[in-house]
Amino acid sequence: MIACLLDDSAVLALGKGYPALSGLIVDAAAGRALLAVPALCLSAAEAQRPGISEHVGMLPVDIEPLELSAAIPAGRLIGDGVDWRIAQAVAAALPSAVHPDGRVVLSVETFRYQSTSIQPIDPSAAD
């Protein structure tokens, strides 16, 4: 089963109907994929497209809360110069006890990850 994180650009692309992302939503509904959107990414998408959060909330996608365990590493990344819109996704993509292999980040703006150790996948490249 694939575990993916959608950043703000992927959330906005989902709202535009990108076929690869729509397919992942179907896979998530069928139990073949685990999809999550970090809260900071969702907030950034909502700022650009009001109402997108309600749309995402109706899908089989988990919202990663910005609790202390997420705020600390995201805050450190922001302090190191990582764009706040992707900081929580970067931290959540790294290997953890729950996701020992880490998670795949989906982003239409992969260039934003150049200063990180994350290599996101552009879902628009599959369309």
Report the pLDDT value the prediction gives residue 22, as an integer from 0 to 100.
87
Instruction: Give the type of residue at 118.
Output: I
Split at pLDDT 50, 70, 90, the class of 126 is: low
Which residue range forms the structural domain that includes residue 71? 2-126
Q: Where are the alpha helices (DSSP H) in 1-106?
A: 8-15, 19-29, 39-48, 52-57, 68-79, 84-93
Using CA atoms, how far apart are residues 74 and 59, in angstroms rounded to an integer? 25
51-89: pLDDT as tens digits: 999 999 999 999 999 999 999 999 999 999 999 999 999
Q: What pLDDT sits at residue 4?
A: 94
Number of domains into which the chain is organized: 1
* CATH code of 86's domain: 3.40.50.1010
- Which comes out higher in pLDDT, residue 126 or 90? 90
Cβ contacts of 113 within 8 Å, gap of 6 or more? 86, 90, 105, 107, 119, 120
pLDDT digits (tens, 9 = 90+) for 102-112: 999 999 999 99
